Amino acid sequence: MKKEGIGRKYLPEFVYGGVDGAVTTFAVVSGVMGAALSPAIVLILGFANLIADGFSMATSDYLSVKSENDLDRHRRKNAKKIALATFLSFVVMGAVPLIPFVAAAITKSEYFVENQFIHSIILTALALIFVGWHKGEVVGKHKVFSSLQTLTIGGTAAVLAFLVGFFIKSLIG
């Protein structure tokens, strides 16, 4: 049974922004870790990506909806609300991979410092599963399949980013 309400109304923006936010931010984390660079670089590049890419996606969504509205004057969508939903979804879900690095930087806890990448993997996987599960629930599809599909896409991007970081690091020493 399909659910009604805000979860359904902004589902495309939630999935689009949420998956891309988690995937691209975790790709930054993975690339930096693959290159064996400082966790400080994770925070710098991660937050820069979070804001810049989130803004880029939101404005692209805004312009896309405005163009769609111009083509079909009978069916209007609120471009500003759609852009905001994309941005918020991107930033909230995209912040998840950075939480362990922020916790390690703030607490200086040996446990968090030593395990920040592992915790980032776990939290990002949970975020991707959550987005997939919610998508499956709202559209009435199999929630486990939807979750695994989303996790597989995100995981593949993360492995590719890690390998690129590792490979480039091996080239330059």
**What is the reported pLDDT for 1?**
45
Domain ranges for the chain: 6-172
Rounded average pLDDT over 37-53: 95
Residue 21 — pLDDT band, cuts 50, 70, 90?
Answer: very high
**Percentage of residues in the chain having pLDDT higher than 90:** 80
Give the separation between CA 12 and CA 72, rounded to whole angstroms. Answer: 19
Q: Is 139 exposed, middle or buried (0-12, 13-18, 19+ CB in 10 A)?
A: middle
Q: pTM for this structure?
A: 0.88
Evaluate whether 148 touches 132 at the Cβ level (below 8 Å): yes
Q: Token pair for residue 42?
A: 């994770």
Q: Is the pLDDT confidence value at 5 over 90? A: no
Q: What is the pLDDT of residues 95-121, one digit of tens each?
A: 999 999 999 999 999 999 999 999 999
